[in-house]
Structure 1
Amino acid sequence: MTEEQAGRAVVPVRRGHLPPLSPLKDDLGEERRAFAEHLRALRERSGMTSSDLAEELGVDATRLSRYLSGEDLPQPDLQLLTRLHQLLASRNPEYSVDEAARESLGLLYAAARSQNLLSARAYEIAQLHEKLHEQQVETARALAALQAEMQDERDHRRHAEQEIARLRQVGVADRDEQIRRLEAERDSALQRVAELEDLVSQTGALLQLQQRDVQHAEEMAAETQRALDRWEHGGELPEQRRKVDVTRLDVEEIVEELDHLRDADRDEEADGLLADVAQRHDPAVVTRLHGALEDAGRRVDVAKLLEAAALNCPGPHLRLLALAVDEPGARYGTGDFQISVPAVPLGESLLPVVGRLSPVDTILRLAVAFAQRSERSFSPLVRRYFRYCTR
């Protein structure tokens, strides 16, 4: 969970008042059904709607919906389940994250094994990687503790030697007895330092081996994922596939392609698709896509679309995007209760992001483009964000 998400006040819905989820399909299979039902129970326990829970976990709402329906399993990245259990633990001090996570992972691995052999291997390697990483963290902690203890023993020995030297220069009644006691403490500290030096050396060597084990597990995971991609795409890796010409896609086709990429955990490609749409597609299509994503509650994709435009589009194109509107005077509702919704330019959502992320010269060029056409309704906004970003 990001700091922004952690700081956001999400008010949970009372249990029993959550909107019901669609029934699970009969053909899911025993293992996949068991995991989906478990995930649904965790969602119910959170007291949050699916869309709020997705936002809190930093996952696309559509993807979470597919997990809850059993259509897909979380890919080998296990952080989703970890974040979910940490969220539940934050609301219940008696909640055991480790115990709950083990139960969830057991159900997830069983579901993955029932899917196909390559998916099962991917999850097994993910589990191995997690265990190796935990061992590495524990070894690093043990090494730090040993080093701290060794330093304490060295300080103890040094203090004893200083006291011995001081006592030998003064005349006190029990000086010899005190010196013998301090010499015993010094010798004990010297012996313990020698033992700790050996333990530190061994533990450091073990840590290096574990670091290589983790790296090897990461390489195994990457190779398995490549094999899984080849199997899923008929022997052709995603990076080898022909790139989609976004200018030929309508909004529904863009959303469908976006869903496909998100569901396959190909998030970089999905982000690239949104960037291509923002830069290359007709502004009217971009604003319709923005509206469709907002209506679907896909806040992550909405943010990615706006950020892509702000970071990549030149000033003149940003002007066209800012002025674009979706379905002027569109009517919503049924029967006699229809209402007319005035068109809202994309600029109302886009310009704040432009002011926050775009290069200064891009914002300046955008302001000039508005001013040259006397589009005064937007020029003040641009000037305001320009001042904000140059403070």
Structure 2
Amino acid sequence: MTREQMPARRGLAPLDERLQEPERRCAERLRELRARTGLSSEDLAERLSGDGIRVDRTRLSKFLNGREVPRREIAARLHALAAECEGVDVNAEEVAATRALMYAAACVRSPLQAREFELATAREDLDRHRAEAVQELADLQRDLHDERKRRQDAEDALEDLALHSREEVRALTEERDTALDRIAQLEDQIRQAGAVLRLRDRDTETLDRITRATDAELAVWESGGTGDLAGICASVAYLRDADEDAAADRIIEQIALGHPVGDIVRLANEFRSLGRFHDSVKIEHSLVRLRKPVDLFHWFAGESRWSKERVRLLESMTVVAPVEHLARLHKACTDHGNGDLDFDLLSSIVERPRAVPEGTGDEWVEDLRRSVDVTKQVLTEGAVAGPAQQEVSAAGSAPVDR
């Protein structure tokens, strides 16, 4: 689409003179991008919305007049629309420059949004460092393979000393010993590189949790709520009533991923007390589907066996959690000797029922399947809970046949 073909639009009002310089520069960049898209305010707002982010004409006006800073994702979407309308590829450097202007404006106007930018930048740095660590590990492993081959070649040549002169034997021996020293060095470097890579992965997991919590706070703030339980419930209710289900679901999933399990359970109770049973179930299902089983195990272990929250969450896990998560929770019960939780988990799987597939190749899925079969037999025969738990626990700790 050429500029002559672009639809006519009303001009934007002059920027407020009271804007600080970072806000003014950000607004000017956004206005430039809006002009490049050639879209009306209604069309542009609609194209920028999605994945739980709402942009209407009023909010777009605030972006373009410097009264509000867009979410970080908006920069990439704006540049993609401009490139599409102009028939060119997206320029990554231009996107980065726009994000830098948005971050500078956020530092002035919105500390919460500034944190979003900082975390995203930190994640990009972590991803880059992790990629470098992966490449370094691959290079070291390749060098180790070459050195081992060099050592083996030298040892093969030394097997028949009669074919070599004394000087050749000395040279081959030195080559072999040098290769052995180099192998020892490379093996040590590989161990260290592996440890660094594992630490990078942990850093990434930690940063992801913080980012999700920040994203949830931003979503609540954008809908006019506060970050406490009542504010989150009010924000979700507001979005549901406005038919903004994607935005409401985004808040729920980000909270399920980024907040402590106990806080999420309390939020589910708050939804239930307000009569919003759909959202109560939604956040419980998101929790057991998205969180690591070890996080759930520690919460389950600290709760009374007969608490309503524990029973309800265990039922939710049985219904919607991936089988691998059920297997890992079973493993945690076995490792920590929590027979009560293990028996309740297995009984819940039997009662639903939930099929555990065979032949997955996963050791703990196979162990879970065998333990479920034992539990089914025990419950069918009407055995008492105490002996049943002991039998299931013994089955869960038995070695897996390979």
TM-score bracket for the superposition, by shorter chain length = 0.3 to 0.5
TM-score, reference length from structure 1:
0.47
Larger RCO, structure (CA 8 Å, separation 6 or more): 1
TM-score, reference length from structure 2:
0.46
